[in-house]
Amino acid sequence: MSTTKPDTMMVSAGSVRYLSDMRQLAGCLLAVGFGAIFHPMANVATLIGPNGTTVGSGVPLWGLIGGIVLMTVGTLAVFTGYNQLVHGWYNKNWTFGVIIFTQLVYIPYITDMTGIGKNARSGNAFIPAAYDPTEADVKFVGAMGILGVLTYGFCFVGSISFFLFSLHTYQTGKPQDRCASYFKGRAGFYCAVHCLAGITQLALGIFIFTNFQGGLLDNGPIGVAMFHINFPAIAFVIGFIQMVNGLWGIARSQGYLIFGDSKKDLSFQASIFLSWFLQLTLQALVQTAINPGGMAAGSAPSILGITIGLNIMPAFLDFKSRTAPEEITPDYYEIPQEMMQEPASEQSVEGGEDEKPEATEEP
């Protein structure tokens, strides 16, 4: 397949807008794809060993399978996003195939929730014995872990699926429903999930602070899923900020708490970035680095990987809900008819060498 070089043809504003939006989606897909590669890597490396030590049954085996599937999906997402973003290459059948395969990533999250539930029922998990936890304490921490997997995991898997589906819609020349109302509905939903993720970590931080110890925990971390807590105050602060951002995003999806020109207001995106930066530095690094001998070092990249979808979705959807038109008219993108008629293997959003769309001056 060949593509038309940008300097050999005049393009319209609509075609430039179409290409720009496709590359915007591809860039986001590239980012969440890398997160899918990083997140399970430490666990996969732990579950594989020499001389017959690789796990072979039960929940650990499914955890290994799920981790490999997740890394594969991440690799496919990176490949798809990179080629669309950098080279303008795509194949709609390839993208659809990746969409289908992506649905397998629910395996690791179902496995994680199953494992957490099993450990919670045992009454002897998550909390070091030195704290003398009750069975109710263990079950509460386990419940927060399951909620954490649900919220972080849904945004994580949902972000990959969303960008793949959206990219496929543009690749098939049918982006007409990607108007402002489309993004507003999804922005409200993902912000609600973001808020619930914050409430989960906030509740866990308060629980540990009030029932065990404030400040640095003397007898080791209390941990479940993506929450590895040495400082309950850090969990409290990050959870509170996420909860506030989630509520703010829900309000913005309904037209409230937007400051100044709605198309230029990036205050919400700045707050989301601050929240993610705190997750990176405090939740992923400080909470794990305090343990001696690097015993929790593998948790840091795992936590980092799963935070990308949780933060990028509210920020992206809020931005698109305010900058996309209320209605996408037929000439908004000026999609070439040739693009929708050619076989997928020969398509390029920029046109082909042999069949170039008619040149038009950019207004």
* Secondary structure (DSSP) of 218-286: TT--EEETTEEES-HHHHHHHHHHHHHHHHHHHHHHTT-S--SSTTT--HHHHHHHHHHHHIIIIIIII
Flag whether 352 is in a domain: no
Q: Tell whether the model's pLDDT for residue 225 goes beyond 80.
A: yes
Residues 6 or more apart whose Cβ sits within 8 Å of residue 176 = 328
- Span 66-82, mean pLDDT? 93
Share of the chain above pLDDT 70, in %: 88
Whether the predicted pLDDT of 84 surpasses 80: yes
Q: What pLDDT does residue 173 have? A: 85
Q: What is the pLDDT of residue 23?
A: 93
Beta carbons of 324 and 332 less than 8 angstroms apart: no
Q: At 79, is the pLDDT very low, low, confident or very high (cuts 50, 70, 90)? A: very high
Residue 332 within any structural domain of the chain: no
Tokens of 131: 């704290």
Name, in order, each residue with C-beta under 8 angstroms of 342's C-beta and a sequence gap of 6 or more: 352, 355
What's the token pair of residue 160? Answer: 């990959």
pLDDT attached to residue 337:
55
What are the tokens at 317?
A: 């959807």
Domain assignment of residue 191, given as a range: 24-326
Residue from 201, 192, 106, 196 nearest 144 by CA: 201
Asked whether residue 341 carries a pLDDT value surpassing 80, the answer given is no
Q: What is the sign, positive or negative, of the torsion defined by CA atoms of 130, 131, 137, 139?
A: negative
Where is 335: in which H helix or E strand? none
What are the structure tokens assigned to 179, written together? 């108007």
Given a cut of 90, is residue 64 above it in pLDDT? no
Band (pLDDT 50/70/90 cuts) for residue 254 is very high
Tell me: pLDDT of 277 over 90: yes
265: alpha, beta or left, given left = phi > 0 and alpha = psi -120 to 50?
beta
The residue with greater pLDDT, 233 or 341, is 233
127 falls within a domain:
yes
- Which pLDDT score is estimated for 335? 67
* 15-24, 220-229, 265-274, 296-305: least confident range: 296-305
Cα separation, 279 vs 311, whole angstroms: 10
Alpha-carbon distances of 345 from 25, 57, 75, 149, rounded to whole Å = 20, 41, 21, 38
pLDDT for res 291:
79
Q: Please, which pLDDT band fits residue 5 given cuts at 50, 70 and 90?
A: very low
The residue with greater pLDDT, 4 or 342, is 342
pLDDT at position 192: 97
φ, ψ for residue 185, nearest 5 deg: -60, -45
Tell me how far apart the alpha carbons of residues 91 and 218 are, in angstroms, rounded to a whole number: 55
CB 128 within 8 A of CB 87: no
In angstroms, the CA 319 to CA 220 distance is 41
Does 333 reside within a domain?
no
Using the predicted structure, report yes or no on whether residue 265 has a pLDDT greater than 70: yes
Position 251 in a domain: yes
- Total domains in the chain come to 1
Q: What is the mean pLDDT of residues 4-9?
A: 39
C-alpha–C-alpha distance, residues 196 and 52, integer Å: 41
Question: 76 lies in a domain?
Answer: yes
DSSP 8-state secondary structure symbol assigned to residue 359: P
Tokens representing 331 are 């000439």
- Nearest alpha-carbon partner for 186 in 263, 259, 250: 250
Q: What is the pTM of this model?
A: 0.85
Would you say residue 335 lies in a domain?
no
For residue 326, pLDDT beyond 60: yes
pLDDT (average), residues 213-220: 87
359 within domain boundaries: no
User: Taking all residues of the chain, what is their mean pLDDT, rounded to a whole number?
Assistant: 85
Closest CA to 338 of 355, 361, 353, 354: 355
How open is the CA angle 212-213-219, to the nearest 5 degrees? 85
134-141 contact pairs (CB < 8 A, 24+)? 137/211, 140/207, 141/204, 141/207, 141/222, 141/224
At 86, is the pLDDT very low, low, confident or very high (cuts 50, 70, 90)? Answer: very high
